């Protein structure tokens, strides 16, 4: 049976207790890399339109790999391993699949959002676990990752949405702290969702929604 959201967050706090060092360093590297495309606006201040286009392209190119690297760190940390901060770059070893998955994710969410806001939100939640599936098995393939995400989030979209909302207060505090709070919030957020993914994965296998072979297959 799935844990309630407060339990998922509590588990994350317990897992992080006394071990914040590496996750905070990881969060710092993540923020630095994620902010790099913004430097294009400063470098090309004489051509702001061109710089903005380049920034968007750069953001799209790195976001998928960066997200998967963050999830790889979170899953390994949550499972009791001791991942190094260099895992932040590991998603780039699978640049093609991570970029392709991110583009497909954006496309489907955009298409559903053109209908109405709510369908767009629901579709984004439906596909939200695809990056975890790919991080768990980088050889699984884009289509398989999306299909598994749709299966395991069915019936849990409201729960996942509420979990997103539960971090709103923390986001506000992080902003008020001039962004410093994000160093703690990013690990807390990511480990909470790593717990969610593992529970969804285990329950889907137990209830025959997905098989273990589906999670381990290669495209």
Largest CA distance in the chain: 58
What pTM was estimated for this model as a whole?
0.91
State how far the Cα of 138 lies from the Cα of 154, in Å rounded to an integer.
Answer: 23
Q: Which of 74, 94, 96, 81 is nearest to 26 (CA)?
A: 74
pLDDT digits (tens, 9 = 90+) for 23-42: 999 989 998 998 888 776 66
pLDDT digits (tens, 9 = 90+) for 90-127: 999 999 999 999 999 999 888 888 877 788 888 899 99
CB 4 within 8 A of CB 66: no
Looking at residue 184, what is its pLDDT?
Answer: 92
**Through-space distance between the first and last CA atoms of the chain, rounded to whole angstroms:** 30
Q: Which of 158, 137, 164 is nearest to 9 (CA)?
A: 164
pLDDT < 50 stretches in the chain? none
Looking at residue 147, what is its pLDDT?
Answer: 95
Looking at residue 41, what is its pLDDT?
Answer: 62
Helix (H, G, I), strand (E, B) or coil at 208: coil
Q: Which of 15, 154, 25 is nearest to 75 (CA)?
A: 15
CA distances to 27, 109, 120, 136, 170 from 34, rounded to whole Å, are: 10, 21, 24, 22, 20
């Amino acid at each position: 049976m799935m844990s309630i959201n407060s339990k998922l967050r509590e588990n994350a706090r317990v897992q992080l207790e006394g071990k914040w060092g590496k996750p905070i360093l990881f969060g710092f590297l993540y923020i630095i890399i994620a902010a790099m495309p913004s430097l294009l606006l400063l470098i090309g201040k004489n051509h702001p339109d061109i710089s903005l286009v380049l920034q968007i392209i750069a953001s799209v190119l790195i976001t998928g790999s960066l997200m998967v690297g963050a999830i790889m760190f979170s899953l390994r940390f949550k499972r009791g391993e001791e991942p190094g901060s260099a895992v932040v770059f590991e998603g780039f070893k699978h640049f093609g699949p991570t970029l392709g998955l991110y583009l497909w994710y954006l496309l489907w969410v955009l298409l559903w959002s053109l209908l109405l806001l709510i369908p767009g939100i629901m579709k984004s939640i439906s596909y939200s676990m695809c990056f975890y599936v790919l991080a768990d098995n980088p050889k699984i393939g884009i289509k398989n990752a999306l299909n598994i995400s749709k299966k395991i989030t069915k019936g849990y979209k409201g729960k996942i949405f509420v979990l997103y909302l539960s971090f709103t207060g923390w986001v506000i505090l992080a902003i008020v702290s001039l962004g410093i709070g994000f160093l703690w919030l990013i690990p807390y957020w990511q480990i909470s969702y790593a717990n969610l993914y593992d529970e969804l994965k285990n329950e889907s296998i137990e209830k025959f929604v997905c098989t273990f072979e589906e999670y381990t297959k290669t495209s």
